[in-house]
Amino acid sequence: MYIRRSPRPAHPIAPPRHRRSRTGGALLAVAALVVSACSAGSGPAGTTAEAAVLPALPQSTPAALSPYYGQKLNWRSCGVPGFECATLKAPLDYGKPDVGDVRLAVSRKKATGSGKALGSLLVNPGGPGGSAVGYLQAYAGIGYPAEIRARYDMVAVDPRGVARSEPVKCLNGRDMDAYTQTDTTPDDAAETERLVGAYRKFAEGCGARSAALLRHVSTVEAARDMDILRAALGDERLNYVGASYGTFLGATYAGLFPDRVGRLVLDGAMDPSLPARRLNLDQTAGFETAFRSFARDCVQQSDCPLGKKADDVGGNLKAFFEKLDARPIPTGDADGRRLGESLATTGVIAAMYDEGAWAQLREALTSAMQERDGAGLLALSDSYYERDAGARYSNLMFANAAVNCLDLPAAFSSPDEVREALPEFEKASPVFGAGLAWASLNCAYWPVRPTGEPHRITAEGAAPIVVVGTTRDPATPYRWARALAAQLTSSRLLTYEGDGHTAYGRGSSCVDAAINAYLLRGAAPAEGKRCG
């Protein structure tokens, strides 16, 4: 599974440099962030006809949960000007709420205007594994439109197992360096054994260091935590903007608590009805779509190192990857890392999330292909993995795998199953297919059995929900937005005809105006609205 997270939006809501969101282990992580599987029951919109509907929870609060719903947040300074922080308690196990708590990090920036307050607006950047608190403090809390920040208290909570909320732990920096360099396109039995060994070591590390938590980091549990936060904030309904995996989290909330839905924006939507293999296969095709768009642009630039014809770009890049597989190149890295096929592929995929990174990718590829300097592609890969210069990794990839492997049964159970599926994945993407197929094997060795299954989310009775899809989105293909919108009974689909992952705050005045009108006035976009 590739990373199912969303990069920070690129314009007013994003950092100055390219930032990617989640999918799997980049290749190892890349696969983790996505989930896909072919199903004979797929309908015209890509949903699984046989998938059960996520049932809503009872409207009344169970007595055993009353202490959690009645808690008061003790706000304190975060050390970040303008922001406050607090700790929210939630039950580790909702089935046994008396056995222990998880402590969740919450942050907010209070509304700055004098107009009528609209309550809280919860934001989540995706993942699973992306820090919502970090996103709020660095980007959303200062970069969302001023009129939104004036009327809403901007709020974020790191989901259980993520960042500041009792993070899942798996490997140290040195072991993660080895993991991210593992060959994800094995050519023989020995290379296959090494890849399986890397997956096993990763899983065993998570099991040894986060045993109890691994059983309780599902998306359903995180959505239930959000309802406790809603109550603690004093809001009758939840207002929410979620990107990428954050759409799955937000849709899950709507399915569980349809009567408590306020204004929900699901940007870069996922389809919850699909099994892991289909999710990964769809995402593989999504990256191919984005790569072809990059290829068409690249050959029009004077510094494109991949040829003069768009049809040649993929083959030339694949040939370059094969050279790196046989002979990695220097990067100047202080820890001695060289650029092999896995890190290079991750670097290229990272740049597919935002067309604003294409110039950086061309420069990095030129250096690597013509000067045998892999520093540029390594930097893109490190950004994707959230690795700093001191060889320290955030817990992004750990939480990503933990949530994905709990939410759905594994895409593949053995190397033989991957080999059988290779033609299908390589057809979906001649450049990335093989690596993404093998990356989808990671959950096969997970120490905890999955608790989730593919399901449809209808959220009957919910207020209007805005689902946003980008036609050439690499990580969350447009068909997923159409599928989710078809499932949600009160959805309005907003389509952005463009490139990159997610749409809000990335430069389309049409998209931004539609979402701002919805958040400020409750005016959902017209049915079938499209923005160029």
Q: In terms of Cα–Cα distance, which of 365, 337, 336 is closest to 349?
A: 365
Residue 169 neighbours by CB distance under 10 Å: 17
Strand pairing partners for 531? 496
What's the pTM value of the predicted model, to 2 decimals? 0.92
pLDDT for the residue numbered 114: 79
Query: Which residues touch 293 (CB under 8 Å, ≥6 apart)?
Result: 355, 472, 499
Is the C-alpha dihedral spanning 347, 348, 354, 359 positive or negative? positive
- The secondary element (H helix, E strand) that includes residue 46 is none
Strand pairing partners for 33? 2
Q: Take residue 171 and report the two structure tokens written for it.
A: 């490997």
Q: Which phi and psi (to 5°) does residue 294 adopt?
A: -60, -45
Q: Take residue 440 and report the two structure tokens written for it.
A: 């989808």
CB half-sphere exposure, 368, CA atoms < 13 A = 33
Between CA 172 and CA 426 the distance in angstroms is: 33
Using CB atoms within 10 A of its CB, is residue 240 exposed (0-12), middle (13-18) or buried (19+)? buried
Contact 468, 511 (CB under 8 A): yes
Strand pairing partners for 277? 36
Q: Take residue 318 and report the two structure tokens written for it.
A: 């694949």
Residue 303 neighbours by CB distance under 10 Å: 10
Packing angle between helix 310-326 and helix 358-371, nearest 10 degrees? Answer: 50
pLDDT for the residue numbered 49: 52
What dihedral do alpha carbons 348, 249, 84, 92 form, nearest 10°?
Answer: -110
Point out the residues that are catalytic. Answer: 244, 473, 501
Cis peptide before 128 (omega within 30 of 0): yes
Q: Take residue 468 and report the two structure tokens written for it.
A: 């946003």
Q: In terms of Cα–Cα distance, which of 451, 455, 452 is closest to 272?
A: 455
pLDDT for the residue numbered 44: 34
pLDDT for the residue numbered 35: 32
Between CA 375 and CA 255 the distance in angstroms is: 45
Going from the C-alpha of 344 to that of each of 94, 177, 229, the distances in angstroms are 42, 14, 40
Q: Take residue 191 and report the two structure tokens written for it.
A: 């290379």
Between CA 56 and CA 70 the distance in angstroms is: 21
Q: Which domains does the chain have, with CATH numbers?
A: 27-57+109-163+220-274+454-531 (3.40.50.1820), 278-385 (no CATH)
Contact 87, 74 (CB under 8 A): yes
Q: In terms of Cα–Cα distance, which of 37, 439, 1 is closest to 275?
A: 37
Between CA 425 and CA 423 the distance in angstroms is: 6
Contact 228, 163 (CB under 8 A): no
Between CA 249 and CA 218 the distance in angstroms is: 10
Contact 298, 362 (CB under 8 A): yes
Q: Which phi and psi (to 5°) does residue 496 adopt?
A: -110, 115
Q: In terms of Cα–Cα distance, which of 527, 518, 516 is closest to 263?
A: 518
Between CA 121 and CA 156 the distance in angstroms is: 8
pLDDT for the residue numbered 6: 41
Q: Take residue 41 and report the two structure tokens written for it.
A: 């029951």
Between CA 264 and CA 278 the distance in angstroms is: 26
- CA 199 centroid distance within chain: 20
Cis peptide before 464 (omega within 30 of 0): no
Q: What is the pLDDT along the chain (532 residues), one digit of tens a residue?
A: 344 444 333 323 332 222 333 333 334 333 334 332 222 233 333 444 578 999 999 999 999 999 999 999 999 999 999 999 999 999 999 999 999 999 999 999 999 887 789 999 999 999 999 999 999 999 999 999 999 999 999 999 999 999 999 999 999 999 999 999 999 999 999 999 999 999 999 999 999 999 999 999 999 999 999 999 999 999 999 999 999 999 999 999 999 999 999 999 999 999 999 999 999 999 999 999 999 999 999 999 999 999 999 999 999 999 999 999 999 999 999 999 999 999 999 999 999 999 999 999 999 999 999 999 999 999 999 999 999 999 999 999 999 999 999 999 999 999 999 999 999 999 999 999 999 999 999 999 999 999 999 999 999 999 999 999 999 999 999 999 999 999 999 999 999 999 999 999 999 999 999 999 999 999 999 999 999 9
What is the maximal distance between C-alpha atoms in the chain?
Answer: 67
Contact 442, 471 (CB under 8 A): no
Contact 348, 342 (CB under 8 A): no
Strand pairing partners for 442? none
Between CA 417 and CA 38 the distance in angstroms is: 13
